[in-house]
Amino acid sequence: MENTNNVAAVKSKPQGNSKNTAAHIRLIIEKILVYVFLMLNVFICLFFFYILIVNSTMSKDELQGVFTGIPSTHFFDNLKSALNTADVDLPQATWNSFLVAALSAIVTTYFSALSAYAIHTYRFKGRKFIAGFILAIMMIPSQVSSLGFLKLCNQMGATNQLWVLIIPGVAAPAVYFYMLQYLQATLPLDLVEASRIDGSSEFRTFNRIVLPIMKPALAVQGIFSFVGSWNNLYMPALLLTDDDKKTLPVILANLSSKAHSQADAGQVWMTILIAIVPIVVVFLILSKQIIKGVTSGSVKG
Amino acid sequence: MVHVATAQQPKKKKISYAKWGYIFLIPFFVVYLIFTLYPQLLTIGYSFTETYYDLDPIAGSHWEGPRFIGIENYITLFTPDANGEIRILKYLGNTMIMWVICALPQFIVSLLLAVIFTSNRLKIKGQPFFKTVFYMPNVIMASAFGLLFFELFGSVGPINKMLISMGWLKESYDFLGHEVSVRTLIGLLNYIMWFGNTTLVLMAGIQGIDDSVFESARIDGAGAFRTFFTITMPLLKPIFLYVFITSMIGGLQMFDVPQILTNGQGTPNKTSFTLVMYLNQMLGVKNYGISGAISVTLFFFTAILSIFVFKGITKDNKN
Amino acid sequence: MKKSVLGLTLATLAAGMLLGSCGKAADANVLNIQCWNEEFRGFFNRYSTDEGKALLKEGKLMDDDAKKAKEGYHVDGVPVKFVETPSTDGAYQKALDNALEGNAGKKAADKVDMFLAEADYILKYANSAVTQDIDTLTNTKIDQSHVYNYTKQAASDASGHVKGISFQCCPSGLIYNRTIAKDMFGTDDPAVVQTKVDSWEKFETLGDQLKAKNAHYKLTASFAETYRVFSNNVKAPWVNSANELSIPAEVVTWMDQAEDLVTKGETVTDGIWDAGKTALIKKDPKAEDDKAFCCFGPAWYYNFCMGDSKAGDWAVIKGPQSHFWGGTWLMAASGTDNGDLVAKIMDQYINDAGTMQALIKNENQFTNNQVENQKAADAGHANAFLGGQNDTALFCEAAKSIKFENVTAYDQYCNEGLQNKYQEYLVSLKTGNGKVTREQAINNFKTSMKEQFPKLIIK
């Protein structure tokens, strides 16, 4: 942590002794209060996951009984029935979600970086205007275009096709904006010049020299695109009606509207668990980079 | 193409490269024109027409329109219904109230956490752990969270069972049937999902403040509170403005959580029904005229609120 | 650097797979069936598919396990594909309308061959060109001499062409809990219990008596239990010939009754499909748990709405007023390229004696074949869920009085919409916070109807 260093610098100021003891006690009390406060928030964050995990281990009948908070033994039964139910094809939905999210992440980051590179590197006519234009359209909520988008997909006969959820990622103003900021901070134009002198083509320079430099930004935005796409319900719910094309959020939305007396509650909990586990695992592995990414730049809120 | 560029390279540098700016922007603008601008123009166009899928039971289902009707859809949107309510304003109100329920505690807690994490005095241990835990809900799909809450707070769900077995409730409380509890649940859910993110962004803002400012305040003998209000807050204003506006725009687009929690109904009495849920519902029944008008109205609400907030905060800055 | 090339290669590969999965090369014939829940699919898989029939020969019933679902089912070698869309908010009808549009011009693999429809909206499809006369499916006509007349009438267009068949007949009754009946009346004999609830006055009085006897007794398991008794006996349609919408008087009576029962705490504000209702009829209630005396429903209700309650602890009687609820029709989609299979399946579900008896015995159904129902009733059919009661005999009698009248194509939207909006009023009534008034609830219902059907005139 960067701040610990300057902490030491400030702390080293000598202070009066008696005052020090009183301040020390105060500090300890403050610390206790702060940790209590932190733990309270930890509790809020983890409590619901705990219940989710506990309930995913319980049978339908146990779920109807008194809530104990103690895990039961039906985890694998539920897992089996969630994966095997004829109603929803969970493996297929997971695969669909993964495909859309992964490709969106690649497409979004690559082309946003390319667009940002174009604005950053080249001095062409209308550059300022284009840069300003992209900034302006960033503020328009995506839902505003959803009707036309739906209509467009109908015209193209592209409902129930996953690629229409991926290709629009090429034009992602917010990601572009982040990339541009990153480039301005990290890419000296001399480097591009040097590469040209080496005889590299412009496209090659971007792919071979610039992209590697942008790796941290690509990773951060890639993860955000992945998460955003993985979790997206709005457009997929309107577009995907075929059972074998549905993504996880659409399946979950269907589950909640499904009649309760028909559904096996243990199986429903398990389905939720399956829907969130992959992303949590990815997050925990990459949490350091993600947190750095959020802290170092703007994220869509 | 690659070879041509290489061959020209030794002679003229600057002039021949400018075109690459355009070339590299082609994908962005082609996709933007087809998948964003064209749909947006379509949307605006439809908002001035009567276009809907008529489920006519006698003549059979068929499309009606598009028929140009001027601003009639907008008039319909802003005409009070049988209950004397202008629904689109009611839904805007719902959306904003639920956003405030989530945003107010979020800003306070996030500010506190950001100050705590960056505090030189407290030296909080285990920061990576706390940050990871606080941020984690943000990566989880709102629909899964919504379904989770739907199950948890159902009339026979674990929360009710727990409260009853602890003797706090006599009979189960219909969390999803009451205005206050539904809105609070939606706010709480959004709070859980976003406070970690806001904390990290605010932390970045505080870390961006020059250390010497804090140091001189310390030498002046300023306490933690005074430092916070006289130094941290004013210097944090730009980033706070950013957080505020993005959060508000995000709030205006609230959809997944109330949609799943209330099964798309916005129960009770549409008090948790949001603007985007309204849009979604009208798209669902294929009333494209009204959907278009809602979309355009949503855009204006967003723009007006953003300008309002921006003006308000910057004006405040000058005084 | 290599990584970015690798990334691009991967992306290209994945994109290839994506496009590949969109346009399956061969246009093989598929039997496409649209439905809104798994009820018929279960029967179909067990009694109509090649796989199910093979198991039946071994004396076993097909259990929908994953392996089978993955491999798929076939009828006479043709693969079967069910597309299921929940019917909430009319979503099923919308999906169906989408799928049926331009059906004849679609690829064989995408053509809808058959779809399922409910009583609430069957008129819309029967009167439409998207369905075809079942006699035109093949050269031979399907024998319809044993079906209940109302099921035929419901599936006919204005000129009398029958567009589908129902695989069930749905006279409905009052399904009561035997344990509570014994506690109240000293007996659980259906004949005696019927005398206690043969009018609405007696029924409502019983609510008070139940509460007095045991504070945990509720009269019905949901505010909506009695809804269909009223709504399927309306004397005027929801929407008249002038396209005017008004709430039928019988439904208003139901609204009063529901309000009364909720106020007195004799029923709950959970819907009939909700977890709160299921909890009232659960298998092993403890002394301190609330328990419901009765539900209202036809034969399909046992499996479908009472699946988690204790088998053997229930019995069915006529109740205060005779009524029916629903039915599920198999409709022949225009443009089907599997007419012979569709006809064969339809014939099976109204004429095949083996299937009829299996539906009654294994699935607790009441079939759409008068002769086979009577046969089962006369043979002393004993329904295990009802503690051995011969419900088929009771329903044979009740089915005679079913009339399919005053039905409109809007009924599903009206029935569901009104119950949903009215439920919000009842919830606020129960807690006394008065957030939603009865008038507001009714207005909300009418507004939502107008939003969905801009042409309706709201009365």
According to the model, what pLDDT value does residue B32 have?
94
A47 pLDDT exceeds 80? Answer: yes
Cα–Cα distance measured from residue C295 to residue C222, given in angstroms and rounded to the nearest whole number: 8
Partner-chain contact B61 C428, CB within 8 Å: no
Sort out which chain C residues have CB atoms less than 8 A from B285's CB and list them: 90, 94, 451-452
A-contacting chains (≥3 CB pairs under 8 Å): B, C
Partner-chain contact C4 A211, CB within 8 Å: yes
- For B154, the closest of C239, C275, C427 (CB atoms) is C275
pLDDT tens for A194-203 read 888 888 889 9
- Spell out the domain ranges in chain A: 2-56, 79-296
Cα–Cα distance measured from residue C75 to residue C82, given in angstroms and rounded to the nearest whole number: 13
Partner-chain contact B284 C94, CB within 8 Å: yes
- For A260, the closest of C15, C22, C274 (CB atoms) is C274
Confidence of residue C64 (pLDDT cuts 50, 70, 90): low
In order, the DSSP letters of B76-97 are HHTS--TTS--HHHHHHHHHHH
Distance from CA of C453 to the nearest CA of B (A): 7
Torsion angle (degrees, nearest 10) of CA B63, B67, B69, B72 = 10
| Residue B254 three-state SS | coil
According to the model, what pLDDT value does residue C413 have?
87
Listed range (B268-277, C67-76, C241-250, C449-458) with the worst mean pLDDT: C67-76
Partner-chain contact A34 B122, CB within 8 Å: yes
CB burial readout C1-38, b (16+ within 10 A) else e: eeebeebeeebeebbeebeeeeeeeeeebbbbbbbbbb
A43 pLDDT exceeds 50? Answer: yes
* Closest residue by Cα to residue B266 from B172, B170, B185, B199: B185
Confidence of residue A17 (pLDDT cuts 50, 70, 90): low
C84 pLDDT exceeds 70? Answer: yes
- Say if strands C323-324 and C291-297 run parallel, antiparallel, or are unpaired: unpaired
Mean pLDDT value of segment B75-80:
93
Partner-chain contact A122 B140, CB within 8 Å: no
Retrieve residue C218's tokens: 């509720």
C-contacting chains (≥3 CB pairs under 8 Å): A, B
pLDDT tens for C225-264 read 999 999 999 999 999 988 899 999 999 999 999 999 999 9
According to the model, what pLDDT value does residue C407 have?
87
According to the model, what pLDDT value does residue C161 have?
92
Partner-chain contact B268 C444, CB within 8 Å: no
* Closest residue by Cα to residue C216 from B171, B154, B160: B171
- For B5, the closest of A37, A202, A279 (CB atoms) is A202
A156 pLDDT exceeds 90? Answer: no
Contact A146/B295 with Cβ under 8 angstroms? yes
According to the model, what pLDDT value does residue B8 have?
46
Sort out which chain C residues have CB atoms less than 8 A from A212's CB and list them: 1, 4
Cα–Cα distance measured from residue C304 to residue C310, given in angstroms and rounded to the nearest whole number: 14
Contact C34/C83 with Cβ under 8 angstroms? yes
Partner-chain contact A258 C278, CB within 8 Å: no
Please report, rounded to a whole number, the percentage of residues in chain B having pLDDT higher than 70: 91
Amino acid symbol at C99: A
The helix, strand and coil proportions of chain C, stated in percent and rounded to the nearest 5, come to 45, 15, 40
B75-317 under CATH 1.10.3720.10, yes or no = yes
According to the model, what pLDDT value does residue B108 have?
94
According to the model, what pLDDT value does residue B286 have?
84
Partner-chain contact C273 A262, CB within 8 Å: yes
Distance from CA of A58 to the nearest CA of C (A): 16
The mean of the pLDDT values for chain A is: 82
C residues 94..113 contacting A (CB < 8 A): 95, 98
According to the model, what pLDDT value does residue A13 have?
47
In order, the DSSP letters of B125-185 are S-HHHHHHHHHGGGGS-HHHHHHHHHHHTSTTSHHHHHHHHTTS-SS---GGG-HHHHHHH
pLDDT tens for B216-248 read 887 887 777 788 888 888 888 878 887 888 888
Mean pLDDT value of segment C145-169:
92
Partner-chain contact A294 B200, CB within 8 Å: yes
According to the model, what pLDDT value does residue A105 have?
94
Partner-chain contact A249 B18, CB within 8 Å: no
Amino acid symbol at A234: Y
Distance from CA of B205 to the nearest CA of A (A): 8
Amino acid symbol at C313: D
Mean pLDDT value of segment B206-215:
80
CA of A115: how far to CAs of A104, A138, A145, A180, in Å?
16, 14, 22, 8
Cα–Cα distance measured from residue A246 to residue A275, given in angstroms and rounded to the nearest whole number: 13
For residue C130, give every residue at least 6 positions away whose Cβ sits within 8 Å of its Cβ, in sequence order, or none: B60, C100, C103, C333, C334
Interface residue of A64, A66, A166, A170 to substitute, partner C, most C CBs within 10 Å: A64
C71 pLDDT exceeds 60? Answer: yes
Mean pLDDT value of segment A62-84:
81
Amino acid symbol at A90: L
Sort out which chain B residues have CB atoms less than 8 A from C89's CB and list them: 264, 284
According to the model, what pLDDT value does residue B171 have?
76
- Spell out the domain ranges in chain B: 75-317
Listed range (B188-192, C270-274, C343-347, C364-368) with the worst mean pLDDT: C270-274
In terms of average pLDDT, the best of B39-48, B139-148, C90-99 is B39-48
State in words which class domain A79-296 has.
mainly alpha
Mean pLDDT value of segment B44-50:
94
B1 pLDDT exceeds 80? Answer: no
Cis peptide before B66 (omega within 30 of 0): yes
End-to-end CA distance of chain B: 58
C5 pLDDT exceeds 60? Answer: no
The mean of the pLDDT values for chain C is: 87
Walk me through the domains of chain C, giving residue ranges and CATH numbers. Answer: 9-168+326-365 (3.40.190.10), 171-324+405-458 (3.40.190.10)
According to the model, what pLDDT value does residue A112 have?
95
According to the model, what pLDDT value does residue B279 have?
93
- Say if strands C164-166 and C171-177 run parallel, antiparallel, or are unpaired: unpaired
Mean pLDDT value of segment C431-458:
86
Mean pLDDT value of segment C305-311:
83
For residue C374, give every residue at least 6 positions away whose Cβ sits within 8 Å of its Cβ, in sequence order, or none: C396
Confidence of residue B74 (pLDDT cuts 50, 70, 90): very high
C385 pLDDT exceeds 80? Answer: yes
pLDDT tens for C393-413 read 999 999 988 888 898 888 888
Sort out which chain C residues have CB atoms less than 8 A from B52's CB and list them: 454
- Say if strands C164-166 and C328-332 run parallel, antiparallel, or are unpaired: antiparallel
The mean of the pLDDT values for chain B is: 85
Contact B27/A110 with Cβ under 8 angstroms? no
Q: What does the DSSP 8-state code read for residue B68?
A: E
Partner-chain contact B283 A238, CB within 8 Å: yes
CA of A50: how far to CAs of A57, A90, C452, in Å?
11, 22, 41
According to the model, what pLDDT value does residue B6 have?
45
According to the model, what pLDDT value does residue A95 have?
93
C278 pLDDT exceeds 90? Answer: no
**Higher model confidence: residue B1 or residue B47?**
B47
Distance from CA of C233 to the nearest CA of A (A): 25
* Closest residue by Cα to residue B192 from B112, B257, B265: B257
The interface predicted TM-score (ipTM) is 0.81
Mean pLDDT value of segment C276-290:
85
Partner-chain contact A243 C273, CB within 8 Å: no
A221 pLDDT exceeds 90? Answer: no
pTM for the model = 0.83
pLDDT tens for B115-166 read 899 887 788 888 889 999 999 998 888 888 888 888 888 877 888 888 888 8
Contact A216/A190 with Cβ under 8 angstroms? no
- Say if strands C244-245 and B62-68 run parallel, antiparallel, or are unpaired: unpaired
With residue C218 as reference, give the H or E element that holds it.
strand C217-220
Mean pLDDT value of segment B173-201:
90
Please report, rounded to a whole number, the percentage of residues in chain A having pLDDT higher than 70: 88
C74 pLDDT exceeds 60? Answer: yes
Sort out which chain A residues have CB atoms less than 8 A from B22's CB and list them: 118, 124
Cα–Cα distance measured from residue B297 to residue B72, given in angstroms and rounded to the nearest whole number: 13
According to the model, what pLDDT value does residue B245 have?
83
Q: How far, in whole angstroms, is CA C64 from its chain's centroid? A: 20
Retrieve residue A84's tokens: 């095997």
A260 pLDDT exceeds 50? Answer: no
According to the model, what pLDDT value does residue C68 have?
57
Cα–Cα distance measured from residue A36 to residue A31, given in angstroms and rounded to the nearest whole number: 8
| HSE toward the beta carbon, residue C324, CA cutoff 13 A | 27
